[in-house]
Copies of this chain bind each other. A is one copy, B any other.
Amino acid sequence: MDKDCICENCEFREVVFSFLDDESVQHLCDNKEQQSFRKGEIIHNEGERITYFKYLKSGLIKLYRKTPSGDEQIVSITKPFEFVSNISIFSEERYKYSVAAVEDSVVCVVKLDFIKEIALKNGAFAMGLLSKVSKVNEKIISQTLDIRQKNLIGRVAYILLYFTNEIYNTQVFDLPVSRKEIADYIGMSTANVIRTLSDFKKEGIIRVFGKTIEIVDMRRLEIMAKIG
């Protein structure tokens, strides 16, 4: 299915699979599969049975769920080397959250039982997983708390800084998500997200060309994120 994916060199190996010997890695490699998703495609839906261990090789994904009233709550937007089938994978039968690609993405997929099998035999590997899972969860929780303590302006500023500093590492980037998705991420209304972006624009803090954002005055944006 994929000659181009050579597990020995996979960057992910360092992250979780560093405790595996070459033989295990080879075995893993033989059992894995790569899947590509276009921007907007759903990788899996909440409620579906979990059978695969998935991680993001490239691209960008959002983790979210639907509220009873039908709108989305976005839990996290993350880039490669996070798990995709994350959070509930080692404790639940079924996904608690949906995952969708917000940019073209490649996901590497291994049967979950296979991972569990290795973990049972290899404590160091299991501890690697544990550490990684903890880290991912902690990030989600602390970001949620960070956002919760801020007002509208602070939240929008925070998200812009998140994209700049954590995702893209550039001052100019294309927003991978719609205004509505930002709203669903930070728990505000779409209209107010747009309004705040407009305000930042008027004050010369950012420049906006459709989806493209340029952070002009990083300093002031950081202040807005802090005091807001």
Q: Does A65 contact B (CB under 8 A)?
A: yes
Number of interface residues of A (CB under 8 A): 40
Q: Are A87 and B141 in contact (CB under 8 A)?
A: yes
Which of A26-34, A51-59, A116-124, A211-219 sits within the interface? Answer: A116-124
**1/0 contact trace for A183-207 toward B, CB 8 Å?**
0000100000000000000000000
Contacts of A131 in B (CB 8 A): 90-91
Contacts of A122 in B (CB 8 A): 123
Q: Are B90 and A127 in contact (CB under 8 A)?
A: yes
Instruction: Choose from B88, B127, B135 the contact partner of A116 (Cβ within 8 Å).
Output: B127
Which residue of B has the minimal Cβ distance to A68? B226
**Distance to closest chain B CB from A190 (angstroms):** 16
Given A119-B126, A119-B127, A127-B119, verify A87-B144 contact (CB < 8 Å).
no
CA distance A86 to B132 in the complex (A): 14
Q: Does A169 contact B (CB under 8 A)?
A: no
Given A73-B149, A87-B141, verify A127-B126 contact (CB < 8 Å).
yes
Q: Are A91 and B141 in contact (CB under 8 A)?
A: no
Given A122-B123, A126-B119, verify A138-B87 contact (CB < 8 Å).
yes
Which residue of B has the minimal Cβ distance to A118? B123
Q: Does A77 contact B (CB under 8 A)?
A: no
Contacts of A149 in B (CB 8 A): 67, 73
Q: Does A96 contact B (CB under 8 A)?
A: yes
Which residue of B has the minimal Cβ distance to A226? B68
CA distance A134 to B126 in the complex (A): 13
The B-contacting residues of A in range 56-74, CB under 8 angstroms, are 65, 67-68, 73
Instruction: Choose from B88, B125, B144 the contact partner of A138 (Cβ within 8 Å).
Output: B88
Q: Are A127 and B120 in contact (CB under 8 A)?
A: yes
The B-contacting residues of A in range 130-145, CB under 8 angstroms, are 130-135, 137-138, 140-142, 144-145
Q: Does A75 contact B (CB under 8 A)?
A: yes
**Distance to closest chain B CB from A201 (angstroms):** 27
Ranked 5 nearest A-B pairs via Cβ? A126-B126, A91-B134, A137-B137, A120-B123, A91-B135
